[in-house]
Amino acid sequence: MSSAATPSESAQPAPVPSGGIPVDVPRSEAQRGADSAEEREIILRNWVRDHPDFPKPGILFRCMMPMLRNPQAWQEAMRQLGQVCGQLEPDLIVGIESRGFIVGTSLATSLALPFAPVRKPGKLPGRVHGIDYSLEYGTDRLEIPVDGFEASPRVLIVDDLLATGGTAAATAELVTKAGGQLCGFAFVIELADLQGRTKLPAGVPVESLIVYA
């Protein structure tokens, strides 16, 4: 899923000393525990890079690639998402194509939970559940493997970005169609001014590590 936003101030990656550890990424559990939620968000926000006028003029692209290039920053993101899982207790992590695969597999592996991908049509072998959904101009389709939903698992949907919310909302419908029990959504970045939360099912928890107002 593309990370696009409306124009705002650029954020640069935190400085990295010769040892390779960014100076403002927590280095121990004790230090992390002492940080406030706001301080932790600021730390992760330092690892989101802004690309103005991409993929087209007037769009500000929020890119989490610098976070992925620093193991300590990415571990901190997974630690925070792990806390979300501790509250919501999912049985299965579902990631949305394509950056949701990066977030979802990292999270699922760290918590020893199974992972299921949601993909565009024709990308998954075997039997799948599918759903068509509306875009601003036209329609699209998402699919998920049939396997893994036999026991009606509690499902957490994850992605790198919550923007307008259309794809995440369609994924929620797909999870329900497959037989899963939707227990929440988790995102690394949220663009609050696009009001994507309003598209998601009412009453379902939505957690984002970094929120751009």
Q: Cβ distance 90 to 50 under 8 Å?
A: no
Helix (H, G, I), strand (E, B) or coil at 19: coil
Residues 74-89 pLDDT 10s: 999 999 999 999 999 9
Per-residue model confidence as pLDDT tens digits over 3-52: 444 433 344 444 433 333 343 444 444 444 445 666 666 689 999 999 99
Confidence (pTM): 0.82
Question: How high is the pLDDT of residue 138?
Answer: 84
CATH number at residue 182: 3.40.50.2020
Q: How many domains does the chain have?
A: 1
* Whole-angstrom distance, CA of residue 66 vs CA of residue 48: 6
Residue 91 vs residues 148, 149, 154, 168, 188: alpha-carbon distances, Å: 10, 10, 5, 19, 20
Residues with a catalytic annotation lie at 99, 136
| Three-state DSSP class for residue 55 | coil
Q: Give CA separation, 210 vs 37, 41, 57, 168, in Å.
A: 10, 6, 24, 17
Domain around 148 = 4-212
Q: What is the pLDDT of residues 164-213, one digit of tens each?
A: 999 999 999 999 999 999 999 999 999 999 999 999 999 999 999 999 99
Q: Which contiguous run of DSSP H or E holds residue 34?
A: helix 29-34
Give the least confident one: 33-37, 61-65, 67-71, 208-212.
Answer: 33-37
